[in-house]
Chains A and B, each alone.
Chain A
Amino acid sequence: MSLRLKLLLLALATLVLPWAGCRYAQEMESALREGEQNSLSSVAETIASSLQGRRDLLYREPPAADTETADTDDAAPAPLSPPPSPYDIKPILLFAPPLLDGYTDDWPHDKSAWRYFAQGHHRFGVLTGVCERMLYVLLEVQDDHVVFDSPGASPLDPDTFGDRVWLGFDDAEGNQHQIFLSATGPGSITGRRIETGEFGQKSAVTEPRIVGAWISTPQGYRVELRVPLSMVGEHFGVLIDDRSARGALPVSYGTLRSDDLHTVGRLIVASPELTSYLRQFIQPGLRLSIASPESRLLAQADALAQVTELGPGRGLLARLYRRFVDRPATPRIIDATAAIYDRQHREVLGSLKVSQTEDRWLTLRDRALTRMLNSTLLISAIAVVAILIFAARLAVRLSRLRTASESALTRAGLVTTFPETGTADELGDVARGFSTLLSRLNEYTGYLRTLAGKLAHEIRTPLTIVRSSLENLESEGVSPSAGIYLERAREGSERLNAILIAMGAATRVEEAISGAERVSFALAPLIASAGASYRIAFPDRHFATELPDEPVTIQGAPDLIVQMLDKLVDNAVDFSPVGATITLRLTLEPQAAVVEVDNPGPPLSGTTRSRLFESLWQSRTGADSRPHFGLGLYIVRLIAEFHGGTASAMSLPGDSGARFRIRLAR
């Protein structure tokens, strides 16, 4: 795994920031929700306590009675609400006025709100609702034989009567009123009442405020009515006159006394002021509703749909965030409920429910979350990019360092300038360390290179003393037995002298190179003549020369070239068996003349090949009578470089021997 990849992974760890942010947002959301719930509860408590004992505000009640109780004594126990009667009518709250068409689809589908009344096999259901000071009545009558009034019948002639519906109620003064509704066929209907004139004559007067529709249903008929609440007092009732035939005696049943059609049940309905009272507490996103103790909705002020200016889910990013953060089970609306008591805290008058949409503070949260996520993502991105750049730079620097150190080791001339040494960080330290190491190595190699020459020079004086002393001793005349030792000592000093000459060879070649003059000369005849001389010098080897036909002229020092060939041939002879053929070859390249010396023998190993031309390096292992200091091929390289060329070595194909190739600039 590269350093770059590792650092990139490391940078990806900063992505934990947005994750932590999401977690934090969730925590914050729970806390917010809890706080909101608490504040909602306290709002509910506050509003509920403001309504404590305000039965008048909750329910329509006779003002006289209410003021009476309120005025007499505050501390005295207020009259309890009258005991509930099965004939009480409890309208539900309608949020929109239903169309008076006899159809139920604009009524809430709430089975529990229906009240049913039966007499024998006769049965009807009634559903009442209140909307904007209007009472709506829906009657579902089961009647297997619906009888309409005969067309054009007098409303006062009982023989023409069909099925009819009676509404009975009292007004604010307590006077009883009866309104009947009948139809000659399905369609809209209007209420009528029977009035008795001064002289006892009866007339049917149309009551235009009470209107509705009558339609037939498979079970019987349905009547939908509207009655203004202002007409109705505390009591209200419905009665069905079911006739089996026109003019027959009806079966009457319902919530009115069937004899005088007086009311027995009360109309329990919220006071009209209640909604406006609730409205004063309303805020966007809030819904206040008051229900009766039996959980019937009395009044409601609804601003739930109105939310603050920022709607949910603007922008793709915000939606994406919400997907991460939102728990799907979370309800979108939170509620708080508080009971409304009477003045003495003995009876529950109703309950107040405060609902709030989450959207209000979800928007707040989203805004904060989006901002936080944006910034953490930005930070992560910056961190990744920065680390990537840093890693790339680091990798480049490291590879530069590596390249430099590699080339420093393989090249014979050590690099003097090392990269990165100027930087102040640890990498700079490493580079400086390398640089110091290399310069020491350089000094050391330089010292080694000159050591042979210096040593040769220093040993020469004592050697001269030995040799001149021996010669003097010989001249003095010694006994024959001592002469043997004298001879041996002389041979030893001769060998020592040969070693000195060999040791100084590289130094002398370097000096020869520095003083050499470049002349233009033909290379081919020089190699041919050298080859001829090697045949004489090494009679137990064969020499083959391969030369091009065209003349090859180079600039340089022919003496040095010969010396170079001497070293190469010396080397080839040493590493080839007796009788082997050593090939001297000259080929031409566009920019260079290539001299090759091939010899059969052991192939060159990799390390040998790379170090062969270095000073003081040799691969000879066997003992040899002649001294070797690993300078021969170094001299070859020096001479090749003097001629603007290069020296290289390789194994012959099939590892059958070695080839030395000298490329000389033309």
Chain B
Amino acid sequence: MKRTVAIVEDEPAIRDNYAAAFTREGYVVRTYSNRAQAMTAFHARLPDLAVIDISLEDEPEGGFELCRQLRTLSAELPIIFLTARDTELDAVSGLRLGADDFLTKDLSLAHLIARVNALFRRVDALRRPLEASQVIRRGPLTLDAERMQVEWDGQVVLLSLTEFWIVFALARHPGHVKNRQQLMDAANVVLDDNTITSHVKRIRRKFQSIDPRFDAVQTVYGMGYRWVD
């Protein structure tokens, strides 16, 4: 059964390009150019995944509002935010609403599709029983690569896909310094240094909200980051 991807984007050329790419990958694509249109359609039938632009026509932050409304319809539906603005504020606001990932539009289509695939994989994995082979354990950390889920001291840490991949890249080889480029490659993103820094900061904060003594992600100034057990 083909999965349905909803694209909410007000720029027709980008929307159509994305639609073409997803169609090629075998997804059923439905496109909407504004929030009202999308919500009407979502009330009739929910998609399997939604890619939402933050600014929609005359609503500069219409994507956030749409995300919130969509979450009331479904708690599990994967949502990816797309934006031309890569500022930290946007990122924080988006994630607080329960989006699964937050990407800038300069991300390549291949990377975008890889993310969508990964998110579907996670949805599938969550429905299956846990497979021990895919699980990495480092002290209090439990990292399930298949389900893209992280637990610390047995508690689930809600990480976005990008954050998960950064943690995964660091935790797989503890003690090894991963520079920013390596982390970007692992996360399938092209970001500038500041965005990587803010991602790492957010990761620390999310872990610290569970364990205030969390200090496993260390900064090696001028070089990058490493995981310390």
Q: Per-residue 0/1 for B129-165: is the Cβ within 8 Å of any A Cβ (1 yes, 0 no)?
A: 0000000000000000000000000000000000000
Across the interface, do A508 and B106 meet the contact criterion of CB distance under 8 Å?
no
Across the interface, do B14 and A464 meet the contact criterion of CB distance under 8 Å?
yes
Q: Which of A463, A497, A533 contacts B223 (CB 8 A)?
A: A533
Across the interface, do A464 and B84 meet the contact criterion of CB distance under 8 Å?
yes
Closest to A508 in B: B194
**In the complex, B114 has a CB within 8 A of chain A:** no
Q: Which of A137-145, A343-351, A381-389, A468-476 contacts B (4 or more CB under 8 A)?
A: A468-476
A-B contact pairs, 21 of them (CB 8 A): A460-B105, A461-B105, A463-B106, A464-B84, A467-B108, A468-B13, A469-B17, A472-B24, A497-B106, A500-B106, A511-B87, A511-B89, A512-B88, A512-B197, A529-B223, A530-B221, A534-B222, A558-B219, A562-B221, A563-B193, A565-B222
With known contacts A465-B11, A465-B13, A563-B193, A471–B110 Cβ distance under 8 A: yes
A193 to chain B, nearest CB (A): 151
Across the interface, do B87 and A465 meet the contact criterion of CB distance under 8 Å?
no
Q: Per-residue 0/1 for A538-563: is the Cβ within 8 Å of any B Cβ (1 yes, 0 no)?
A: 00000000000000000000110011
Closest to B105 in A: A464
**In the complex, B3 has a CB within 8 A of chain A:** no
Across the interface, do A461 and B17 meet the contact criterion of CB distance under 8 Å?
no
With known contacts A457-B84, A465-B13, A529-B220, A559–B106 Cβ distance under 8 A: no
Give the residues in chain B near A562, CB-CB below 8 Å: 221-222
Q: Per-residue 0/1 for A256-288: is the Cβ within 8 Å of any B Cβ (1 yes, 0 no)?
A: 000000000000000000000000000000000
Most buried by B among A469, A558, A566: A469
The B-contacting residues of A in range 207-263, CB under 8 angstroms, are none
With known contacts A468-B18, A512-B194, A531-B222, A457–B110 Cβ distance under 8 A: no
Across the interface, do A471 and B11 meet the contact criterion of CB distance under 8 Å?
no
The B-contacting residues of A in range 486-526, CB under 8 angstroms, are 497, 500-501, 505, 508-509, 511-512, 515, 525-526
Closest to A526 in B: B221
Q: Give Cα distance in the complex from A461 to B54, angstroms.
A: 13
Give the residues in chain B near A472, CB-CB below 8 Å: 17, 20-21, 24, 109
Across the interface, do B21 and A471 meet the contact criterion of CB distance under 8 Å?
yes
Give the residues in chain B near A532, CB-CB below 8 Å: 222-223
A445 to chain B, nearest CB (A): 22
Q: Give Cα distance in the complex from A460 to B220, angstroms.
A: 32
B192 to chain A, nearest CB (A): 5
Give the residues in chain A near B14, CB-CB below 8 Å: 461, 464-465, 468
Across the interface, do A468 and B223 meet the contact criterion of CB distance under 8 Å?
no
**In the complex, B121 has a CB within 8 A of chain A:** no
Q: Give Cα distance in the complex from A563 to B87, angstroms.
A: 17
Give the residues in chain B near A461, CB-CB below 8 Å: 11, 14, 84, 105
Q: Per-residue 0/1 for B190-210: is the Cβ within 8 Å of any A Cβ (1 yes, 0 no)?
A: 101110011000000000000
Give the residues in chain A near B68, CB-CB below 8 Å: none
**In the complex, B172 has a CB within 8 A of chain A:** no
Q: Which of A471, A509, A526, A529 contacts B109 (CB 8 A)?
A: A471
Closest to B111 in A: A471
Q: Give Cα distance in the complex from A471 to B13, angstroms.
A: 13
Closest 8 interchain pairs by CB? A533-B222, A530-B222, A468-B17, A464-B105, A471-B109, A465-B13, A460-B84, A533-B223
**In the complex, B176 has a CB within 8 A of chain A:** no
B205 to chain A, nearest CB (A): 10
Across the interface, do A509 and B194 meet the contact criterion of CB distance under 8 Å?
yes
Across the interface, do B222 and A475 meet the contact criterion of CB distance under 8 Å?
no
Q: Give Cα distance in the complex from A469 to B220, angstroms.
A: 39
Q: Per-residue 0/1 for A144-173: is the Cβ within 8 Å of any B Cβ (1 yes, 0 no)?
A: 000000000000000000000000000000
Q: Give Cα distance in the complex from A500 to B106, angstroms.
A: 10
Give the residues in chain A near B220, CB-CB below 8 Å: 529, 533
**In the complex, B85 has a CB within 8 A of chain A:** yes
With known contacts A463-B106, A529-B222, A508–B17 Cβ distance under 8 A: no
Interface residues of A (CB under 8 A from B): 457, 460-461, 463-465, 467-469, 471-472, 475, 497, 500-501, 505, 508-509, 511-512, 515, 525-526, 529-534, 536, 558-559, 562-563, 565-566
Across the interface, do A511 and B222 meet the contact criterion of CB distance under 8 Å?
no
Closest to B179 in A: A533
With known contacts A468-B17, A468-B21, A505–B85 Cβ distance under 8 A: no
Closest to B87 in A: A511
Q: Give Cα distance in the complex from A509 to B192, angstroms.
A: 11
Give the residues in chain B near A531, CB-CB below 8 Å: 222
Across the interface, do B221 and A505 meet the contact criterion of CB distance under 8 Å?
no
The A-contacting residues of B in range 15-73, CB under 8 angstroms, are 17-18, 20-21, 24
Q: Give Cα distance in the complex from A464 to B103, angstroms.
A: 13
B18 to chain A, nearest CB (A): 7
Q: Give Cα distance in the complex from A515 to B198, angstroms.
A: 10
The A-contacting residues of B in range 78-101, CB under 8 angstroms, are 84-85, 87-89
Give the residues in chain B near A525, CB-CB below 8 Å: 221
The A-contacting residues of B in range 164-204, CB under 8 angstroms, are 190, 192-194, 197-198
B60 to chain A, nearest CB (A): 12
With known contacts A464-B84, A512-B88, A469–B221 Cβ distance under 8 A: no
Q: Per-residue 0/1 for B212-226: is the Cβ within 8 Å of any A Cβ (1 yes, 0 no)?
A: 000000011111000
Closest to A521 in B: B221
Closest to B18 in A: A468
Give the residues in chain B near A471, CB-CB below 8 Å: 17, 21, 108-110
Give the residues in chain B near A465, CB-CB below 8 Å: 11, 13-14, 17
Across the interface, do B13 and A508 meet the contact criterion of CB distance under 8 Å?
no
Across the interface, do B13 and A469 meet the contact criterion of CB distance under 8 Å?
yes
Across the interface, do A508 and B221 meet the contact criterion of CB distance under 8 Å?
no
B158 to chain A, nearest CB (A): 21
Give the residues in chain B near A464, CB-CB below 8 Å: 11, 14, 84, 105-106
Across the interface, do A475 and B21 meet the contact criterion of CB distance under 8 Å?
yes
A490 to chain B, nearest CB (A): 9
Q: Give Cα distance in the complex from A461 to B14, angstroms.
A: 8
Q: Give Cα distance in the complex from A509 to B14, angstroms.
A: 29
Closest to B84 in A: A460
Across the interface, do B87 and A559 meet the contact criterion of CB distance under 8 Å?
no
Q: Per-residue 0/1 for B106-135: is the Cβ within 8 Å of any A Cβ (1 yes, 0 no)?
A: 101110000000000000000000000000
Q: Give Cα distance in the complex from A563 to B193, angstroms.
A: 9
Q: Give Cα distance in the complex from A509 to B13, angstroms.
A: 31
Give the residues in chain A near B193, CB-CB below 8 Å: 563
Give the residues in chain A near B89, CB-CB below 8 Å: 511
Q: Give Cα distance in the complex from A532 to B11, angstroms.
A: 46
Closest to A537 in B: B222
Give the residues in chain B near A511, CB-CB below 8 Å: 87-89
Across the interface, do B87 and A508 meet the contact criterion of CB distance under 8 Å?
yes
Q: Give Cα distance in the complex from A298 to B193, angstroms.
A: 130
Give the residues in chain B near A497, CB-CB below 8 Å: 106, 190
Give the residues in chain B near A505, CB-CB below 8 Å: 192
Give the residues in chain A near B84, CB-CB below 8 Å: 457, 460-461, 464
Across the interface, do B221 and A467 meet the contact criterion of CB distance under 8 Å?
no
